[in-house]
Amino acid sequence: MQSDILVMEEIEKSFPGVKALQKVHLSVRKGEVHALLGENGAGKSTLMKILAGAYSKDAGKIFFDSEAVEIKNPKHAQEMGISIIYQELSILPHLSIAENIFLGRLPKRKRYPWLIDWSRCYEESKELLNRLGLKVDPRTPASRLKVAEQQMVEIAKSLSYNAKVIIMDEPTAPLTSHEIDNLFEVVNMLKKQGVSIIYVSHRLPEIKEICDRTTVLRDGQNIGTVNVAETEIEDWVSMMVGRDLDKMFPKHIVPHGSETLEVRNLVTDKLKDVSFKAYKGEILGIAGLVGAGRTELARALFGADPILKGEINIAGKPVNMCSPRTAIKNGIGLVPEDRKGQGLVLPMSVKDNTTLANLPGISRLGKLRLGLEGALAKKFVRELDIATPGIYQETVNLSGGNQQKVVLAKWLCSKSQILIIDEPTRGIDVGAKVEIYELLNELVGNGATVIMISSEMPELIGMSDRVIVMHEGKITGELKREEFSEESIMRYASGLTDNANRNPMEVDVLGTAYQSVN
């Protein structure tokens, strides 16, 4: 039996209006990969930030390497041997790899301690990179690295502190399938070297592949710790949400109404002669591999990218889609893939974000009607079941699923009838996904049109009424619901439109390619 490198006992943490953690327990063994699971808002991030020294606990005890410790700050945690790699990497692009690894503690010469020992810096950096199998010159500017390579630099930085526990927060979110395989090789190598990994991810099949045990949190409390090999994904889902998700994709079939959107021969820098129609009461899925032009299509329809040629008709009338303002005036809303960077103003409140796209509608003579603004915000918080202490809470403090609901609230407040939603559930836990799907059902049930771009094949098949498939800026196929299959979508997504004499092995390869964007 492996001994515990880390034990957190009865950890508690509160924020204004929120009890984030209640008597939470976590134990991690030496040399194990331990998953931490839970819905957004379950307390995972709070617990990890306490361990990494970013937050102080209100109560409880922490034992590290058999000794009781009080973690004062992030630097103290690193010096003890606890490192965290956040989903948003902290690489400084203008510095070299070596400078990023030893940031704030560049080695000094013994004889002249006021001078940096660059030879030692580069030598030690190279040893760390070699240990991870990254063959790159440590003098290379970090700006030249791919995301997967930047992640390896973050791991190298952790190892430079002689880390005994490394926390990885959604480490595979930006990676391709090949890069994920490489990361898993590194994780297994670290495990053999006795390093413990706390693995935080919404991608449950990865947990099955890479982790030894998993601890599940729900509403800031422990639900249990189980062996991965002795349980199934469905067991973890039930523990996370407190119920069985018999139907992951609760699709409601709604009779389609009149045509709301027609796109004819649309051409941009990335799009080539794109044409399609969308209807009231319809969820139109858009599929394609990375670089197919899905997001570029969304931006063109929203007036964010210039249109070189073509025509957009809304309710039968041509519209010159020259700007997002024009799109909003014509009832189009966009929930972007990057909700934090493009969909929300994070320091602003839930109230301000909710009404941001409808300021003319809540103003009189150039002045905001504050009472109406507050009433609308409360209405959408209630209807969308947004978990927040109040409408004045800063949006940055909400979980990912609730942030996504605020973006949806913004477009409901502006009375959008055509909603383009790019990657609707990326980075959102399984319980919140179902809630988002139900909101989409409600929208189309009320006569709206939803255009849903997704890299998750089950999501497209589960929630769409039709799917159009893109490849290299073109639409290569269109499928009705009764025609849906992963094989047919993948063939169109790869530009292979001839279904005759297909090779089953080819389909397997294409399916793997599609998963590389997830």
Q: Give, for all 518 residues of the chain, the pLDDT tens digit.
A: 578 999 999 999 988 767 889 999 999 999 999 999 987 678 898 999 999 999 999 999 999 999 999 999 999 998 999 999 887 778 898 999 999 999 888 889 888 888 889 999 999 999 888 888 888 899 999 999 888 888 888 888 888 888 899 999 888 877 777 788 888 988 998 999 899 999 998 788 889 999 999 999 988 899 999 999 999 888 887 888 775 544 678 888 888 899 999 999 999 999 999 999 999 999 999 998 777 899 999 999 999 999 999 999 999 999 999 999 999 999 999 998 888 888 899 999 999 999 998 888 888 888 989 999 999 999 989 988 888 999 999 999 888 888 888 998 999 898 899 999 998 887 777 777 888 898 899 999 999 999 999 988 888 999 999 999 998 899 999 999 999 887 788 788 877 665 433 443 333 334 434 443 33
Which amino acid appears at position 270 of this protein?
A: K
C-alpha distances (whole Å) from 257 to each of 254, 261, 282 are: 9, 12, 8
- Domain 256-331+417-427+441-518 adopts which CATH fold? Rossmann fold (3.40.50)
Question: Are the folds of 4-91+145-241 and 256-331+417-427+441-518 the same?
Answer: yes
Extract the tokens encoding 436: 């988002």
Residue 412: closest CA among 367, 379, 451? 379
Q: How far is CA 432 from the centre of its chain?
A: 13
Extract the tokens encoding 36: 């931490």
In the CATH scheme, what is the homologous superfamily, with its name and number, of domain 4-91+145-241?
P-loop containing nucleotide triphosphate hydrolases (3.40.50.300)
End-to-end CA distance of the chain: 36
Q: What is the pTM of this model?
A: 0.60
DSSP codes, 207-219: HHHH-SEEEEEET
3-state secondary structure of 391: coil
Pairing of strands 18-29, 33-37: unpaired
Domain ranges of the chain: 4-91+145-241, 256-331+417-427+441-518, 340-415
Q: How many CB atoms lie within 10 A of CB 7?
A: 15
At residue 36, what are phi and psi to the nearest 5 degrees? -120, 115
> How far is it, in rounded angstroms, from Cα 69 to Cα 67?
6
Radius of gyration of the chain (CA): 25
At residue 145, what are phi and psi to the nearest 5 degrees? -85, 150
Q: How many CB atoms lie within 10 A of CB 260?
A: 23
Task: Give yes or no for a contact between 121 and 102, defined as CB atoms under 8 angstroms apart.
Answer: yes
Residue 449: closest CA among 298, 360, 332, 350? 332
